[in-house]
Amino acid sequence: MNLPSAPRLRAFAAGIEHESNSFSPIPTTMRSFEIGLLYRPGDVRAFEQAYEFPGYGDLLKAAKERGIDVVPGTFAWAQPSGPLSRAPYEYLRGEIIRELRAAGPVDMVLLTLHGAMVAEGYDDCEGDLIACVRDVVGPDTPIGALLDLHGNLSSRMIASGAILVACKEYPHSDYRDRAEELLTVLVEARVGRIRPASLMRRVPMLGLFGTTDDPMKSFVERLKQAEGGDILSVSAMHGFPWSDTDITSASILVVFDAGRAGAHARAERLARTIASEFFELRGVSTSTRLPIDEAIDKALSLVSDRGPVVIADGADNPGGGAASDSTFIVQRLLERGIRDVAVGMIWDPAAVAQATQAGVGATLALDVGGKVGPLSGAPVHGEFEVLCVRSDACQRGLDGQALDALGDAVTVRLKGIDIVLNSIRQQTFSPDCFTVMGINANEKKILIVKSTQHFRLGFDPIAVATVYCDAPGSLNLDLRRLPYTRIVRPLWPMDPAEAILAEQVA
């Protein structure tokens, strides 16, 4: 006799992703999402893009492989920039809630969020959105949210009962693994095998902690080893240093099976232990970022015929909300007469339009970069030669696979320095942005990239060395100089570790 098959699970998937930099000069509007990625149900072309987008696409693919029927709702992503205006956030939230209601009963909700989204009147957009979803589906339907580790956790997010899982790696190379991890917990919860709950432990520090090298590489392994049994997931949230809110901080997130005796106490002990370990890494896990001239000197000392030296201009990383048009490093290279260098990418649509009109082979006077604000520096003025003009150039993006369009783009040369100018603001992920623009990245002495850490996935295979530079910019790592007004003190590095430890003891 044939037994009836188990009913297929049904899920609703949606999300809004934005890393909101309180100090960014770039405004965030509805147009920002339209330029980035805005999928609305029924838009076939946008769905194709969303399906390949890290996080949202990984959840959809993982759910499909498990035989889960997914109702795809709105997914919106914009380049990091300033906090959202109230209207676009409320509109996107409203669309997701309307679509969720229209979907009818579902077995679970899959959200792709960031963790550092701020809008006018909403310092915790993720907590607000999850709470609205919870109001619709009720207390028993599992809600899962996939987060960027650069998010700031809130008590509201935890209180929602949502299952929260963040990527563990920086660069974020593990979204697919984390999507699988989240779905496993959601499915097990839906069929009643586990009763997941979450808790967080604030780690009072901020910084940038790449995981490609020790000690953070080993720390990530520690997180993975801690999972098993009634410990379902462990995430280390690094926090977003340029978010000025009262929840801005690093934290440890533990998801556990509350249906097992003693699990809550074990999760609390684990969170305390790992939070302490993370805090102890605060000074040694952040790569040294050198002033401009020291960074150039070190790069020159490492020059080899085996490949280029990469200088990371993380302070002007558009992936954190910077304008990506600062000129401080380029100005010093010119002043010092250093040649055989390529720079990617400076966001300057006006200069792109001028060079495009002039055409390949032309030489024309240009003012390159330095246009958005004081942290962009002064424009580089000179007689630039136009080497390449394209409107179809792309680079491999965050996951090293999906392609990100550069928009109208040109390569120009001034005194031995080749500069890629683009019209769609984005950080440099891959050597593609050089090669598609006519530059042989492997043969350059030095490559300057507008990125903080994500470039490592694409550039490590060709670079002989990486040098981190802390030039002036919207993402300068001297956090003690930022005009915070909302963060909760004490918080390292704004306050000494001793004061923080004393506060914790108290």
Q: Which of 280, 309, 330 is the last residue of a domain?
A: 280
Q: Is 466 helix (H, G, I), strand (E, B) or coil?
A: strand
182 lies in some domain? yes
Mean pLDDT across the chain:
95
Q: Which of 280, 313, 328 is the last residue of a domain?
A: 280
pLDDT digits (tens, 9 = 90+) for 409-439: 999 999 999 999 999 999 999 999 999 999 9
Q: Report the pLDDT averaged over residues 82-101.
A: 97
Same domain membership, residue 310 and residue 257: no
Same domain membership, residue 340 and residue 253: no
Q: Which of 231, 253, 280 is the last residue of a domain?
A: 280
pLDDT digits (tens, 9 = 90+) for 167-226: 999 999 999 999 999 999 999 999 999 999 999 999 999 999 999 989 999 999 999 999
Q: Write out 389-455 in H/E/C secondary structure.
A: EECCCEEECCCCCCEEECCCEEEEEECCEEEEEECCCCCCCCCHHHHCCCCCHHHCCEEEECCCCCC
Query: What pLDDT does 45 receive?
Result: 95
Nearest C-alpha neighbor of 343 from the set 400, 422, 404, 453:
422
Same domain membership, residue 232 and residue 297: no
| Residue, of 400 and 452, whose pLDDT is higher | 452
pLDDT digits (tens, 9 = 90+) for 348-382: 999 999 999 999 999 999 999 999 989 999 999 99
Tokens, residue 474: 């919207």
* CATH number, domain with residue 246: 3.40.50.2300
Same domain membership, residue 323 and residue 454: yes
The band of 498, judged by pLDDT with boundaries at 50, 70 and 90, is confident
- Helices 125-137 and 86-103: crossing angle, nearest 10°? 20
Does residue 470 contact residue 478 with C-beta atoms inside 8 Å? yes
Q: Is 383 helix (H, G, I), strand (E, B) or coil?
A: strand
Same domain membership, residue 307 and residue 249: no
pLDDT digits (tens, 9 = 90+) for 458-494: 999 999 999 999 999 889 888 998 999 999 999 999 9
490 lies in some domain? no
Give the integer Cα–Cα distance in Å for 115 and 241. Answer: 12
489 lies in some domain? no
492 lies in some domain? no
Same domain membership, residue 312 and residue 244: no
Tokens, residue 25: 């000069």
Same domain membership, residue 130 and residue 72: yes
165 lies in some domain? yes
Does residue 324 contact residue 316 with C-beta atoms inside 8 Å? yes
Give the integer Cα–Cα distance in Å for 323 and 497. Answer: 32
300 lies in some domain? yes
277 contact partners, CB below 8 Å, separation of at least 6: 219, 222
Same domain membership, residue 128 and residue 235: yes
Does residue 54 contact residue 179 with C-beta atoms inside 8 Å? no
Query: Can you give the residue range of the structural domain that contains 32?
Result: 10-280
Structural domains in the chain (count):
2
Is it the case that residue 506 has pLDDT exceeding 60? no
Same domain membership, residue 444 and residue 349: yes
1 lies in some domain? no
Same domain membership, residue 172 and residue 45: yes
Instruction: Look up residue 363 and give its DSSP letter.
Output: E
Nearest C-alpha neighbor of 143 from the set 93, 88, 100:
100
* Residue 415 zone, left/alpha/beta (φ > 0; ψ -120 to 50; rest): left
Q: Report the pLDDT averaged over residues 157-170.
A: 97
**Angle, alpha carbons 395-398-403 (nearest 5°):** 35
**Angle, alpha carbons 90-60-41 (nearest 5°):** 45
Same domain membership, residue 406 and residue 332: yes
| Torsion sign over Cα 94, 104, 37, 53 | positive
Same domain membership, residue 357 and residue 336: yes
pLDDT digits (tens, 9 = 90+) for 214-271: 999 999 999 999 999 999 999 999 999 999 999 999 999 999 999 999 999 999 999 9
Does residue 327 contact residue 484 with C-beta atoms inside 8 Å? no
213 lies in some domain? yes
